[in-house]
Structure 1
Amino acid sequence: MKQVVQNYKSGELAVLDVPVPACKPGGVLVRSAYSLISTGTELMKVSEAGMSMVGKARSRPDQVAKVMQSVATNGVPATYRKVMGKLDSYTPLGYSLCGIVEQVGPGTDDVAVGDLVACAGNEHALHAEVNWVPKNLYARLPDGLAPRHAAFGTVGSIALQGVRRGESQLGEVALVIGLGLIGQLVAQLLTTSGVRVVGVDPDPERCELAARLGAVACGDPAAPAVEAAVAELTGGHGVDQVYLAAGGTGNQPVELAARLCRDRGRVVDIGKCRLDLPWNAYYEKELDVRFSRSYGPGRYDPEYELEGRDYPIGYVRWTERRNLACFLDLVARGRVDVEPLISHVADFDEAVETYRRLKDGDLKAVAVLFRYPAPVAAPAPEAEAAPPALTVPEPRRDGARSAPARSAGTPVRLAFVGAGNYATSMLLPHLAGRDGVELSTVVTTTALSAANAQRKFGFAEATTDLDAVLGDKSIDAVFVVTRHSSHAELTRRALLAGKAVFVEKPLALDEEELAGVLAAVEESGNDRLQVGFNRRFAPLLQEAAKRFGDRTGPAHLRYLVNAGRLAHGSWYLREGTEGSRFAGEGGHFIDTASRLLGADPVSVYAVASSGHDDLQVLLRYPDGSTATISYVTTGPAGFPKETLDMVADGRALRLDDFVRASVHDGSRKRWVSSRLPKARDKGQSAELAAFVRAVRTGGPMPVPLSSLVATTAATLAVPAALAAGAPVTPASAR
């Protein structure tokens, strides 16, 4: 299928061929009929992409702050790779469309194939021929509503939520500053609610349009006629509400709002304009400044938007989806007229040229629609054409940890399931271009991420069809780099398909999932598994362990992990579906401790702060050694993320955040590493090299399966230890 994309680094716009997204549970696949260009929001994004790197930084100081935080935590090279990876990727455009339901995912029963729906969301209602849309971000069209009008649903919801935030009442007077697309819709919604509207915009054509659609007066913000109209309509008191629907960097809108608003009036910010509030003016009138957050309640809440958990109507009357349905109803009943707002309708193939004309000013528009080709019915398959059966290799039950070696000169063919930040910044850069490795296929549920990975790293194919990859006998190994909740099931399926598997941590989120993975190993005889516990492969840790040498007595290890706070909205916070933060990350630190202590834990004890954000985990090992892992989220941002000390036999080892290491002994002899010249090396490259070598040669996996299981079981034992208030035995040691 085709999709409009932009490279934020270069500013390039393109219509790209990408895989059709998968139809996931809790949503539908929608084939677009019309999608709407938001001439304000989208053109701002397009303009930012054309700026220099300095200009981009100035326009997004919030992102610069995140980059500096990442530098302090992960170092300059890792941060640079991550930032450049994001910048030099295609990003989608669009967030408002109408289309036809083409496929209904499991758990969705409120629409059927063939229904017309309006869709919302800057990740789900994109300028693309097909989109996957979760259930709370679409609404079925009322009878008689034209699809081109329904494409206004999202921007209409934004305007409607802004009006709701203003709490307008019959007979009031409102000032709408900025008569672009959102401002025009706000003015109409207020008018249909019985509010008299004064519009302000420097463009006389937009003023004329707003007046034609119901505003009682409109004019240039600098014209005295506007103030005169407000004085006449309000008896000199000023308007009851002001709606800021303007963009730009000037402060005139908020100054005008203060001048024309009545005492204790309301100012609602809907657009993205400068808000340098003149203190005296706002204080003296005690103005109530409010923000309107996009489409309404539910926006930016992943449980609502992605998991389909609705808010009870008795507590939240107007959610995103209810606002969307309400706006569609208003348009269908003729209470809001969007047809006069349509300045231009372009065929989807003309998308790049349309954006260029808008950016250059050749096309002056309030709203522009993309019109998509009508769907073409797929030809019926021939009778003998049946999908290939998934072939599971004969089981190997002799217990041998080996597989047939590759013939000389034959590359190891790898498939990636998932292509998020970690895969593209920490794994794929070490595999792309590596001798003896062929990046065969990348599989994602979203089309654009697969296309980005294919373009940047040279995958031969990009798809959303996992079954086809698992059934491809030519693929030697599958990398599972998805969200935590899918790791165990994807690993199980890949093992049963006879593939060597590299799965990022965690291997499983509970003991039942872990048992399922082991059952797949037993059923298939395929134990070719590696979990992404990369720290044991870090060159500095290995050198320090070698310098420390063998020990005769028990060791005591202390590991401080300054994990830091997560950004609001991070999927790591979805404990209900993705497991706790420690369940997702703790295996790294347990595996590192076990590597240094040369054994697997036999006992786990844990205590936690309120809310379990900060943990103290005490591990006991067979020879009496102990490891204490302090996993904290409340430390300072500039402090190193990981510091480790180990003491045994009169010797001490220290590892400072994989940048410097030292070993001390009682004779005052010591070894201190040189500070790494480039960055923290946490072992990803060496780990991948070991995995690829094992796949190529048929030799043992880099880490024994028993150790991977023991680390996972110890990680999963932490919640049980917290609940028991006493040490527990991990499942692997029972």
Structure 2
Amino acid sequence: MKQVVQNYRSGELALLDVPVPGCKPGGVLVRSANSLISTGTELMKVSEAGMSMLGKARSRPDQVAKVVQSVAANGVPATYRKVMGKLDSYTPLGYSLCGVVEQVGTGVDDVAVGDLVACAGNEHALHAEVNWVPKNLYARVPDGLAAPHAAFGTVGSIALHGVRRGEPQLGDVALVVGLGLIGQLVAQLLAASGVRVVGADPDPVRRDLAARLSGAACGDPADAGLAATVAELTGGHGVDQVYLAAGGGSNQPVELAARLSRDRGRVVDIGKCRLDLPWNAYYEKELDVRFSRSYGPGRYDPAYELEGRDYPIGYVRWTERRNLACFLDLLARGRVDVAPLASHTADFDDAVETYRRLRDGDLKAVAVLFRYPEAAAETQAPAAAVPAAAVPALGAPAVAAPRDGTVPGPVRAAKAPVRLAFVGAGNYATSMLLPHLSPHDGVELAAVVTTTALSAANAQRKFGFAEATTDLDAVLGDPSVDAVFVVTRHSSHAELTRRALLAGKAVFVEKPLALTEDELDGVLAAVAESGNDRLQVGFNRRFAPLLREARRQFGARTGPASLRYLVNAGRLENGSWYLRQDAEGTRFAGEGGHFVDTASWLLGADPVSVYAVASPGGEHLQVVLRYPDGSTATLSYVTAGPPGFPKETLDLVADGKALRLDDFVRAAVYEGRRKRWAGPRLPRGRDKGQRAELEAFLRAVRTGGPMPVPLPSLVATTAATLAVRTGLAGGAPVTLAGPR
């Protein structure tokens, strides 16, 4: 299928061929009939992409701050790869469309195939021939409402939520500053609510349009006549509400709002305009400044938007979805008229040229609609959902795992490249794994599988995958694929690993292997059922060159050791998927295996017991691991430490010797009264072992030799990580069983 995309680094716009997205549970596949360009919001994004790197940095200081933090935590090379990978990727455009339901995911019962729906969301209602849309981001189109008009549903919801934030009453007078698409809709909604509307915009064409559609008394914001109009309508008191629907860098809108508002009036910011509030003016009138967040309650809440958890109507009357349905109803009943706003309709095949004309000013329009070709006989993408599966009974492998790297499958020529498939192409895969694999002479990137079309297309373009698809079953069934990398969100790791093992593939799965004991048992059951134990978990720190050399310099030990590992994990941003503990597990369950594995590798054994204690609120976690020879490892996992402090520091003491590692930048070994060995004083950067780990995995797949980390050790590390939760709940040490 085709999709409109933009490269944020170069500003290039393209109509790209991408895979059809899979139909996941809790949503529907929608074939677009019409999608809407909001000439204000989208052209601002297009213009920003055309800026120089300095201009981009100035426009997004929040992102610059994140880059600085990443450099401190991960070093310049890793941060550079991550940032440039994001910049040099195609990003989607669009957020408002109408289309026909083509496929219904499990858990959806309010629409059927063939229904016409309006869709919202800048990750789901894209300018693309087919989109997957979650349940709370679509609404059925009322009978009789045409698809081109229903395509205004999202921008209508933005305007509607802004009006609700102003709390207008019958007889009020409201000022709408900025009469672009959102401003025009706000004016119509206010008029439909019994509010007298005054419009302000420097463009006479937009003023005339607002006067015709909403009966607004309009004027130029720089003209003194506007203040006279407000005074006449309000008896000199000023307007009850001001709705800021303007963009740009001028502070004129907020200054105008202060001049024309009544005492204790309300100012609602809907657009993205400059907000340097003149303090005296706002203070003297005690103006109530409010923000309107997009389509309404539920916006930016993953539980609402992605998981379909609605807010009870008794507590939240107007959510995103209910606003969308309400606006469609107003359209259907003729209370709002969008037909005059769509001043241009273009064929979807002409999308790039349409954006160019808008950007260059050759095409002047309040809103532009794309018209899509009628549904073609295109092969429907299979559902990308991971089915729930009963955990088979545990047991020993029925047969020894074959050692040719593919189980089963044709015998590969000794010098043939290892054919890899990636399931997932997120930040970690594209910044830490694929940059090492794509130039590798002994590797062929066969396929990348994602549930979203554009991420697969981006990975294919940047790293040279032979195929980009959403069809996981086809990839697992391809006998020429030697190994599968599972680099998805944590909740899917165990099931995807299980399926890949049963398909006879060697598997590299990013940590964690499992989030529950049942998931771990399911992976082991797949090993037993298939006889395939070709598994590696992404515990890369034991492969870090500096740490390996430090351990070699430390030498063998005869007595028990004491190990201390401090992890300054830092705080997560609000909205991070790591915080979704009900779906993705705790943060320690997700990454704690890294530190358990490193400690066990340094001590040369697997832990036999785990004791965990957390501070109130869980900001600090202490985990004590005990080993067979009496050695102990204390992991201090903290999230409230200062960002300028190193992320990882480790000390190992035994037999009168000590090993010190400072954040994979410096290391030293002490013995007696002196420092016996020290790492390089000018390190090349933080190398946490990803490259060496990948080389070891590829070597094992190519030669049929042992996996880099024995399966019992992977299982023991995962079991110890999971035992932390049990220990915290019980307040007592947890004894770990032997090999499962």
TM over 0.5: yes
Instruction: Kindly provide the amino acid, as one letter, of the partner of residue 135 in structure 1.
Output: K
Query: Is structure 2 residue 451 aligned with structure 1 residue 450?
Result: no
Q: State the alpha-carbon separation in 1 of the partners of residues 179 and 737 from structure 2.
A: 64
User: Distance in 2 between the 1:162 and 1:505 partners?
Assistant: 43
Q: Is the 8 A contact 1:401 1:701 kept in 2?
A: no
AA aligned opposite 2:700: A
Q: Deviation at 1:82?
A: 0.4
Deviation at 1:433, TM superposition (A): 1.4
Aligned residue pairs, count:
720
Checking the alignment, whether the CA contact within 8 Å between 1:694 and 1:700 is kept in structure 2 is yes
Amino acid at match of 1:715: T
Is 1:354 matched up with 2:354? Answer: yes
Pairs within 5 Å for 1:233-244: 233-244=233-244
Determine whether 1:564 maps to 2:570: yes
Instruction: Work out whether residues 330 and 336 of structure 1, in 8 Å CA contact, stay in contact via their aligned partners in 2.
Output: yes
Q: What residue number does 1:485 align with?
A: 491
Contact map agreement 2:414 2:702 (CA 8 A) in 1: no
SS at match of 2:3: strand
CA contact (8 A) 2:397 2:528 kept: no
Q: What CA distance in whole angstroms lies between the structure 1 residues aligned with 2:333 and 2:586?
A: 48
State the match for 2:650 in structure 1: 644
Aligned-residue offset at 1:733: 6.0
Residue deviations 1:51-78 (CA, integer Å, cap 9, x gap): 0000000000111111111111111111
2:275 is the counterpart of 1:275: yes
Map 1:254-653 → 2, pairs under 5 A? 254-377=254-377, 397-399=398-400, 402-403=403-404, 406-653=412-659
SS at match of 2:309: coil
Secondary structure in structure 2 of the residue aligned to 1:435: coil
Q: Name 1:384's counterpart in structure 2.
A: none
Displacement of 1:216 in angstroms is: 3.1
Secondary structure of residue in 2 paired with 1:35: strand
Q: Distance in 2 between matches of 1:731 and 1:335?
A: 69
Shift of 1:721: 0.4
Task: Determine if contact 1:607/1:615 at 8 Å carries over to the other structure.
Answer: yes
Partner SS state of residue 734, structure 2: coil
Alpha-carbon spacing, 1:620–1:132, altered in 2? closer, same or farther (3 Å): same
Other-structure match for 1:390: none
Matching of residue 692 in structure 1 with residue 698 in structure 2: yes
Verify the 8 A CA contact 1:303 1:309 in the aligned structure 2: yes
Once residues 222 and 448 of structure 1 are traced to their aligned partners in structure 2, the CA distance between those partners, rounded to angstroms, is 44
- Between the aligned partners of 2:36 and 2:459, the Cα distance in structure 1 is 27
Alignment of structure 1 residues 38-77 onto 2, 5 Å: 38-77=38-77
- 3-state SS in 2 of match to 1:275: coil
Q: Return the letter of the residue paired with 2:218.
A: C
Residue 205 of structure 1 is matched in structure 2 by 205
Unaligned segments of structure 2, at least 5 residues: 381-395, 406-410
Cα separation, 2, equivalents of 1:322 and 1:149: 18
| Counterpart for residue 11 of structure 2 | 11
Show CA shifts across 1:301-343 (max 9, x none).
0000000000000000000000000000000000000001011
- Indicate if the aligned counterparts of 1:481 and 1:503 stay in contact, CA closer than 8 A: yes
Distance 1:730 1:153 in 2: 56
- Name the amino acid aligned to 2:321: R
State the alpha-carbon separation in 2 of the partners of residues 26 and 219 from structure 1: 47
2:49 is aligned with what amino acid? Answer: A
Letter in 2 for 1:204: P
Shift of 1:613: 3.2
Conservation of the 8 A alpha-carbon contact between 1:401 and 1:699: no
Deviations 1:611-660 (A, max 9, x none): 32321000000000000000000000111100000100000000000000
What residue in structure 2 maps to residue 133 of structure 1?
Answer: 133
Return the match for 1:677 from 679, 683, 687. 683
Superposed CA deviations along residues 416-470 of structure 1, whole A, max 9, x for unmatched, are 0000000000000000010110000000000000000000000000000000000
Shift of 1:219: 1.2
**Which letter does structure 2 place at the counterpart of 1:326?**
C
CA distance in 2, matches of 1:450, 1:379: 18
- Alignment RMSD: 1.3
* TM-score of the aligned structures, taking structure 1 as reference length: 0.97
- How far 1:677 moved relative to its partner? 3.5
Amino acid at match of 2:540: N
Q: Quick one: distance in 2 between partners of 1:733 and 1:254?
A: 68
The alpha carbon displacement at 1:38 in A equals: 1.1
Hey, what's the Cα distance between the residues in 2 that align with 1:731 and 1:3? 52
Indicate how the Cα distance of structure 1 residues 53 and 137 shifts in structure 2: closer, same or farther if over 3 A, else same: same
Q: CA offset at residue 400 of structure 1?
A: 5.8
Query: Does structure 2 retain, via aligned residues, the 8 Å contact 1:606–1:617?
Result: yes
Which stretch of the first structure deviates more once superposed, 208-217 or 723-732? 723-732
Quote the residue 1:107 is aligned against: 107
Q: 2:664 aligns with which of 658, 662, 665?
A: 658
**Pair 1:152 & 2:158 matched:** no
SS of residue paired to 1:474: coil
CA 1:639–1:53 in 2, change beyond 3 Å: closer, same or farther?
same
Q: How big is the shift at 1:568?
A: 1.1
Secondary structure of residue in 2 paired with 1:32: strand
Contact 1:713 1:732 in 2 (8 A): no
Counterpart secondary structure, 2:462: helix
Residue 100 of structure 1 contacts residue 113 of structure 1 at CA under 8 Å; is this kept in 2?
yes
Amino acid at match of 1:458: G
Q: Greater CA deviation, 548-557 or 658-667? A: 658-667
Q: Is the 8 A contact 2:404 2:702 kept in 1?
A: no
Q: Could you report, residue by residue, the CA deviation over 1:549-600 in whole angstroms, capped at 9, with x for unpaired residues?
A: 0000000000000000111111111000000000000000000000100000
- Paired amino acid for 1:373: P
Q: Distance in 2 between matches of 1:401 and 1:557?
A: 38
Distance 1:690 1:73 in 2: 26
Alpha-carbon displacement from aligned partner over 1:273-321 (angstroms, at most 9, x marks no partner): 0000000000000000000000000000000000000000000000000
Q: CA deviation at 1:676?
A: 4.9
Tell me if the contact between 2:668 and 2:675 (Cα under 8 Å) persists in the aligned partners.
no
Cα 1:627–1:335, aligned 2, differ >3 Å: closer, same or farther?
Answer: same
Matched residue SS, 2:735 = coil
- Provide the C-alpha distance between the structure 2 equivalents of 1:261 and 1:607, rounded to a whole number of angstroms: 56
- Measure how far apart 1:409 and its partner are: 2.4
Distance 1:616 1:408 in 2: 48
Retained in 2: the 8 A contact 1:645–1:653? yes
Aligned to 2:389: none
1:702 corresponds to: 708
CA distance in 2, matches of 1:71, 1:638: 10
C-alpha displacement at 1:732, in angstroms?
A: 4.5
CA distance, structure 1, for counterparts of residue 249 and residue 330 of structure 2 = 33
Question: Counterpart amino acid of 1:180?
Answer: G
Alpha-carbon shift at residue 189 of structure 1 (Å): 0.2
Q: What letter corresponds to residue 735 of structure 2 in structure 1?
A: T
Displacement of 1:610: 2.1
Q: Which amino acid aligns with 2:247?
A: G
Q: Partner of 1:392 in structure 2?
A: none
Q: Is the 8 A contact 1:602 1:733 kept in 2?
A: no
In the alignment, the residues of structure 1 paired with residue 479 and residue 61 of structure 2 have an alpha-carbon distance, to the nearest angstrom, of: 49
* Alpha-carbon distance between aligned partners in 2 of 1:197 and 1:648, rounded to the nearest angstrom: 79
**CA drift at 1:669:** 4.5
Give the whole-Å Cα distance in 2 for the aligned partners of 1:638 and 1:216. 55
